[in-house]
Structure 1
Amino acid sequence: MTTQDERLGQVREVPEGVRLQFRRSWPDPVEDVWAALTEPDRMARWIGTYDGERSVGGTGTFTMTQEEELVGEPMRIVECAPPHRLVVEWLTDEAWRVELDLTRADGQTVLLFTQVFPAGTELTDYTLGWHWYLDKLAAEVGGHPAPGSWDDFLAATGPAYGR
């Protein structure tokens, strides 16, 4: 099971820049967590929508529907090895790349979320945002309570990040 400290994520300097990682775990099968990460109906309940080609190299538009301002952004699927690895890349000036790896350990499905930012990037807001989305994923996967509104989440969790 994921501990409170692990829920805050880890930020480390790496040769490529600054790496943000979160580890989450659930007793649910890998296939169920994979489905929550990739199936349109389930994605919509915790993060957003993806309209486009669903294969390696495929591009489309990703809209984070839980945001105040809905903006569709171009995205590419870089790697897809169901049900264990998905790598996506935003095709914007920021060129975000997110890696999602699922493994099974000690009767748990473990998600390792990784994103690397350019050196010197201030990650507090990004870290808080991904923490909120991963809590929403936990509600979708394991039936955990959803984190509620962003403002409520920020009031409760922000102090752990110095906000």
Structure 2
Amino acid sequence: MDRDSFRPGPLAEVTTEPGWDLVFVRDLRHPPEKVWAALTEPDQLARWAPFLAGRDLGTPGDTTLNTVDGDRTSDQPATVRHAARPTLLEYTWGDALLRWELAPAGDGTRLTLRQRIGDPGLAPMVAAGWHLCLDVADHLLAGHPVGPIRGAEAKEFGWAELRDAYAERLDREPPAR
């Protein structure tokens, strides 16, 4: 698939639960070990994630995640709190807390992302961002990379429509445009 024909896939399951502002569940067609590598290895993260990682995230400890938006980057402190290959990865990213849970699902992986955002009203926007990133990761893992879609560029790939759809699913008002 080329970048020009890239379109977002179907919506993921989204909810909230006590302690988490967003619970985002997505089935990927790749085994947990392969998904784990995409979540932890800096060279793979650079090809799909909204940030660049200062080191492999597969072991606990401090690092820096550089958020990317066009030509701008912003360093954010991060700490990998838990890393249990290939089932659980939990880290801070600035003020956010992310917990990635990977479970076998047939030949693929059921990926559950739990994220503490700080402002629950931002959950639809965060869900839309992760949706696009994980679509890109899925293509990358299938051997058909489209390149990362980050920051303002996401608006060119259906981010606003995803945000509105996730706001409806989360029973929240979409943010003002």
Q: TM > 0.5 between the two?
A: yes
* Shorter-normalised TM range: 0.7 to 0.9
Q: Any residues of structure 2 matched to 1:12-161 within 5 Å, and which?
A: 12-14=16-18, 16=19, 18-47=20-49, 48-52=51-55, 54=57, 55-56=59-60, 58-65=61-68, 67-68=69-70, 69-90=72-93, 92=94, 95-118=95-118, 120-143=120-143, 146=146, 149-153=153-157, 154=159, 157-161=162-166
| Alpha-carbon separation, structure 1, partners of 2:56 and 2:109 | 27
Q: CA deviation at 1:40?
A: 1.5
Which stretch of the first structure deviates more once superposed, 139-148 or 45-54?
139-148
Against the structure 1 CA distance between its residues 122 and 30, is the aligned structure 2 distance closer, same or farther, given a 3 Å change threshold? Answer: closer
Structure 1 stretches lacking a partner, 5+ long: none
| Alpha-carbon separation, structure 2, partners of 1:53 and 1:27 | 23
Per the alignment, residue 4 of structure 1 pairs with 10
TM-score, reference length from structure 2: 0.71
Once the two structures are aligned, what percentage of the paired residues are identical? Answer: 28
Deviations 1:85-124 (Å, cap 9, x if unpaired)?
A: 100112x4xx210001111023321111111234653422
- RMSD of aligned residue pairs (Cα, Å): 2.7
Q: CA deviation at 1:13?
A: 4.8
Against the structure 1 CA distance between its residues 13 and 50, is the aligned structure 2 distance closer, same or farther, given a 3 Å change threshold? Answer: same
Aligned residues: 152
TM-score, reference length from structure 1: 0.77
